[in-house]
A and B are shown apart, each in its own frame.
Chain A
Amino acid sequence: AVVSTQSTGDFLNDVIAQDKHLTMHYLVHNIGSETATDVKIDDTTGFPATEFEVISGSLSATFDQIPAGTNVSHAVVLRPLISGAHNFIPAMVTYKNSNGDELITFSSFLDNNPILSISEYNRKYSPHLVDWLIFVGLCTPVLLIPFLTWHSSHSKYESLANKAKKS
């Protein structure tokens, strides 16, 4: 009889940015033939309180048991307080087999995506609709006024020339 688990941890966000919510999702599969008991997921080391604020959920979770061939999931919402490169380390998963031995495993490795700063995120992903509208408003006088001045004179003398041609 074997108790064996496989754990995965993943970001549910496409983009990780400072001050933007980051959702972590953990999945623990019991791929062995016996029930795993006292299963604990602990990711506090990977997301220290000085760098990440927990918005919802917890960075550690406990499950009394995971029957063989089943899985459990856990999610936590964080808010990064820092920006730049960050080493995302796997979460630690501990569980006990039928003999009471404590076994340790780790979740899958995460991609070390940089955490975008607020300005970088706004630069790349914010729609800036109001800013574009204001820009269009600022461009209007430098384009419209000269064009209308030229056009009024142009149309006036074109019509005079056409009238003179007809007569």
Chain B
Amino acid sequence: WYQRRVRGKQWYQRRVRGKQWYQRRVRGVFESIFLFRMSTPKLTAEEELLLNDFSKSVPRSTSILFHLNALFVSALPIWLFWRIQQLELDTYGIMFAIVTLISTFLMSLAYKNVKYSLKHKIAQKRHAGVTAEVMQQVADASNDMKKTVKKEKDDRVLFKKTEVADLEATHFSIFYNNALFLFLTIILSFYVLKNFSAGANYLGSSVTSACIVAFLSTGSN
């Protein structure tokens, strides 16, 4: 299994080096903004699995989940500053929109980075549990399935393990980054920046919190 993963990594690295410089640059910029892969040449299931493993980009569904979560959590401080700090919506509406968009972008980056760093650690931890589940499924299955060869069982374990690691890493990344962002926003706005004007307080606390969350997420790589 390990040797197959090493060969897969080498294959992935050859594919990356083989692309033209201009296409790689354009794709990289597009992926970093929108967080999902551009359409790629048709790949086999194993190649797709290995590409998911070693690529930082995420599938479209996960990208949409990340963006929607980031947008919602970035908009939450607006409630605090409108109701508690008494910032008028019609006066500060444009500032609210711009700061929310900046925070959304930074939070999406943070989700992606933390997910990427957690995925392999979780996959290693889940190996025993997923193997037990797959063996249980094979044992409960019909006689035809019981004749499944070892290679197919290993493939199923690998696939299932990747799936579970992807799910747990995605949701833990969202939870961790949301909690950190909200905590930092409250601390900055009500303690550190409390003597500033309400507008400067909102700008400073929201953007700084998002920057810190994004910065810390790069460190986890």
B80 touching A153, Cβ below 8 Å: no
A146 and B132 form a contact (CB under 8 A): no
- A131-B84 contact in complex given A142-B69, A150-B171, C-beta closer than 8 Å: yes
Docked-complex contact B133 and A160, CB < 8 angstroms? yes
Interface residues of A in 90-142 (CB under 8 A from B): 119-120, 122-123, 128, 131-132, 134-135, 138-139, 142
Say whether B128 contacts A164, CB under 8 Å. Answer: yes
What sequence of 0s and 1s flags, for each residue 142-185 of chain B, a beta carbon within 8 Å of any chain A beta carbon? 00000000000000000000001001100110110011001000
What 8 A-B pairs come out closest when comparing CB atoms?
A157-B129, A161-B129, A146-B175, A161-B128, A160-B129, A119-B86, A164-B132, A131-B83
Binds A, one of B33-41, B52-60, B71-79: B71-79
Name the residue among B86, B179, B182, B198 with the largest chain A CB count within 10 angstroms. Answer: B86
B contact residues around A158 at 8 Å (CB): 129
Asked if A149 and B79 sit within 8 Å, CB to CB, the answer is no
Q: What is the CB-to-nearest-CB distance from A151 to chain B, in angstroms, rounded to a whole number?
A: 9
Chain A residues 46-83 with CB under 8 Å of chain B are: none
For B, the interface residue count at a CB cutoff of 8 angstroms equals 28
Q: Which residues of B contact A157 (CB under 8 A)?
A: 126, 129-130, 133, 164
Q: B168 near A150 (CB under 8 angstroms)? A: yes
Q: Which residues of A contact B69 (CB under 8 A)?
A: 142, 146
Within 8 A of A (CB), among B16-74: 69, 72-73
Partner of B72, one of A142, A147, A161: A142
List residues of chain A with CB within 8 A of the CB of B208: none
**Residues of A close to B117: CB separation below 8 A:** none
Q: How many A-B residue pairs have CB under 8 A?
A: 75
By a CB distance below 8 angstroms, the chain A residues around B128 are 160-161, 164-165
Residues of A close to B80: CB separation below 8 A: 131, 135
Question: In the complex, A134→B73 CA distance in Å?
Answer: 14
Contacts of B168 in A (CB 8 A): 150, 153-154
Q: Is the CB of B164 within 8 A of A146?
A: no
Q: What's the least CB distance linking B20 to chain A, in Å?
A: 39
Q: Does A85 lie at the interface of the complex (its beta carbon under 8 Å from any beta carbon of B)?
A: no
Q: How far is the CA of A142 from the CA of B167 in the complex (A)?
A: 16
Instruction: Establish whether residues A142 and B85, one from each chain, have CB atoms under 8 Å apart when the complex forms.
Output: no
Q: If A135-B76, A160-B129 touch, does A128 touch B84 (CB 8 Å cutoff)?
A: yes
Q: Determine the distance from Cα of A142 to Cα of B171 in the docked complex, in whole angstroms.
A: 10
Cα–Cα distance between A62 and B199 once the two chains are bound (Å)? 50
Q: Give CA–CA (A158, B128) in the complex, Å.
A: 9
Contact of B172 among A128, A150, A163 (CB under 8 A): A150
Contact of A139 among B84, B164, B182, B198 (CB under 8 A): B182
> Chain A's nearest CB lies how many Å from the CB of B79?
6
Q: Which residue of A lies closest to B73 (CB)?
A: A142
User: A120 vs B197: C-alpha distance in the bound complex, in angstroms?
Assistant: 11
**Complex: A153 Cα to B79 Cα, angstroms:** 33
Pairs across A and B, CB under 8 Å, 15 listed: A131-B79, A132-B84, A135-B76, A142-B73, A142-B178, A146-B175, A147-B175, A149-B171, A153-B167, A154-B168, A157-B164, A158-B129, A161-B129, A161-B132, A164-B129
**Across the interface, do A164 and B198 meet the contact criterion of CB distance under 8 Å?**
no
Counting CB contacts under 8 A, is A143 at the interface? yes
A157, A158, A163 — most chain B CB neighbours (10 Å)? A157
Separation of A100 and B43 alpha carbons in the complex (Å):
111
The answer to whether A149 and B167 touch across the interface, beta carbons within 8 angstroms, is yes
